[in-house]
């Protein structure tokens, strides 16, 4: 395949290095890039903040949703949890599970990624038993039968790779053991806890296919494996096992924090990390146009230092096609009294295909979020 014509160009006053040593004439840098930080890019230096709009009309706008307002409804089945955001390759849900599931579920539409926002419980599946707690990811391969027994009410973010599967990212120059060692991945065990749930009682599996549910009834518990071997299995990873890439002289793009990849989207994890210490280095996320990907951030814990009035359990949605970046208060703080450590934890979804906002989110949206980049009070 032939490569497009591409080589570095320069006009006017510009820094030698992206995200560092900005020219005196401008303190605002904007990255216009393709392919989600992996393709060709240009860095502009502006006199004014690229997010300095004073009015906005039309549907393309940054949006924020408070999912804490959705958490009161206990649902026995994850298939009862409504879609929040979706496209042909991805479904994004939040599931409140407080009681033990009296049946099994199986997703025939694609792999599921669970992220436990709060609570803990026991997962039983075809492959055995796993304990899940707050901060855990769990990848469930397509058509795995499973159920949960919460010991504390669980709030679970679910991201379905529709007609696809999850893989680990390529780690390139830093090697296979950087960010997190694959040895940190845990798999279900055929242990005493799993064997104790063998039974000859009637059990059902709710199978979701084409977003419709069928029910299969057995005269025994189909989670009756006595062993298995192979290279396909659910895996568990806690964000505390992630050791993020850092450079004290250069602010790394979000893609450096990729945790899982699917055919048409990626999932990244932002975890506590030192802030860049070099005097000329940018010390918070840069203004950017991500013109090929929609960006979704779920805020799990900590002080979200590039955002203002955003709390744990909230989601921001920045569709492709406009410039976004840190809020003014956060930008000023980074200029005047920069932090030395960022303690936030967040899960980012970047999708190559545009996401639709489901009706379940309409009642929990902060309609004024688009004006949170205004200096001073909101509009």
Residue 2's contacts (CB-CB under 8 Å, 6 or more residues apart) are none
Say if residues 203 and 221 touch (Cβ distance below 8 Å).
Answer: yes
Q: What is the pLDDT of residue 254?
A: 83
- Give the number of C-alpha atoms closer than 13 A to the C-alpha of residue 89, restricted to the C-beta side: 17
**pLDDT score for 240:** 98
48 is catalytic: no
Choose among 307, 357, 298: nearest CA to 328.
307
* Active-site residue (options: 251, 300, 318, 327): 251
Residue 102, both tokens = 């009296």
The rounded distance, in Å, linking the Cα atoms of 353 and 335 is 35
Instruction: Determine the pLDDT at residue 260.
Output: 98
Per-residue pLDDT of the chain (379 residues; tens, 9 = 90+): 566 666 677 777 777 777 776 777 567 878 777 776 777 777 788 888 888 889 999 999 999 999 999 876 778 999 999 999 999 999 999 999 999 999 999 999 999 999 999 999 999 999 999 999 999 999 999 999 999 999 999 999 999 999 999 999 999 899 999 999 999 999 999 999 999 999 999 999 999 999 999 999 999 999 999 999 999 999 999 999 999 999 898 888 888 899 999 999 999 999 999 988 888 787 777 788 878 889 999 999 998 766 778 899 999 999 998 888 888 777 777 677 778 898 999 999 999 999 999 999 999 999 999 999 887 654 4
Rounded to an integer, what distance in angstroms lies between the CA atom of residue 136 and that of residue 115? 6
**Which residues, including other chains, have CB under 8 Å from residue 199's CB and lie 6 or more apart?**
220, 221
The response to whether 248 counts as a known ligand-binding position is no
45 in a known ligand binding site = no
Residue 168, token pair as written in the block: 């680990």
- Measured in degrees and rounded to the nearest 5, phi and psi for residue 332 equal -65, -40
Say if strands 203-209 and 104-107 run parallel, antiparallel, or are unpaired. parallel
Asked if 25 contacts 45 with a C-beta cutoff of 8 angstroms, the reply is: yes
Q: Which residues pair with 161 in a beta bridge?
A: 90, 111
Within 10 A of 336 (CB to CB), how many other CB atoms are there?
A: 7
- Binding residue per annotation — 362? no
Domains of the chain, CATH where assigned: 28-65+244-371 (2.60.120.10), 90-239 (2.60.120.10)
Res 5: pLDDT:
64
Would you state the pLDDT for residue 332?
76
Q: Taking a C-beta distance cutoff of 8 angstroms, is the pair 85, 363 a contact?
A: no
CB 297, CB 316: distance < 8 Å: yes
pLDDT in the model for residue 358: 97
Coil, helix or strand for 269? strand
Token pair, residue 300, equals 């799990």
């Amino acid at each position: 395949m032939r490569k497009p014509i591409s080589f570095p160009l320069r006009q006017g006053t510009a820094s030698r290095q992206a995200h560092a040593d900005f020219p005196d004439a401008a303190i605002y840098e904007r990255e216009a890039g393709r392919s989600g930080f992996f393709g060709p890019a240009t860095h502009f230096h502006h006199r004014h903040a690229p997010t300095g709009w004073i009015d906005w009309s039309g549907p393309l706008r940054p949006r924020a949703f408070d999912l804490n307002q959705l958490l009161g409804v206990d649902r026995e089945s994850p298939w009862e949890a409504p879609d929040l955001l979706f496209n042909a390759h991805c479904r994004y849900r939040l599931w409140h599970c407080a009681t033990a599931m009296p049946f099994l579920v199986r997703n025939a539409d694609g792999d599921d990624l669970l992220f436990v926002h709060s609570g803990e419980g026991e997962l039983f599946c075809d492959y055995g038993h796993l304990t899940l707690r707050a901060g855990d990811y769990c990848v469930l391969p397509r058509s795995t039968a499973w159920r949960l027994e919460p010991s504390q009410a669980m709030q679970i973010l679910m991201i379905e790779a529709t007609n696809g599967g999850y893989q680990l990212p390529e780690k390139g120059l830093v090697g296979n053991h950087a960010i997190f060692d694959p040895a940190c991945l845990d798999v279900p065990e055929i242990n005493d806890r799993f064997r104790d749930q063998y039974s000859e009682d009637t059990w059902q599996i709710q199978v979701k296919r084409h977003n419709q549910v069928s029910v299969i009834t057995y005269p025994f518990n189909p989670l009756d494996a006595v062993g298995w071997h192979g290279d396909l299995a659910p895996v568990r990873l806690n964000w505390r096992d992630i050791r993020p890439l850092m450079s004290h002289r250069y602010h790394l793009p979000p893609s450096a924090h990729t945790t899982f990849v699917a055919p048409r989207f990626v999932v990244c994890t932002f975890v506590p990390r030192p802030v860049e210490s070099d005097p000329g280095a940018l010390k918070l996320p840069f203004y950017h146009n991500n013109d090929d990907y929609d960006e979704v951030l779920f805020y799990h814990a900590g002080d979200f230092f590039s955002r203002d009035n955003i709390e744990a359990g909230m989601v921001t949605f920045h569709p492709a096609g406009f410039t976004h970046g840190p809020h003014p208060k956060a930008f000023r703080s980074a200029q005047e009294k920069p932090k030395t450590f960022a303690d936030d934890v967040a899960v980012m979804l970047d999708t190559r295909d545009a996401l639709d906002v489901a009706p379940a989110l309409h009642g929990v949206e902060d309609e004024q979020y688009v004006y949170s980049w205004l200096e001073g009070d909101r509009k």
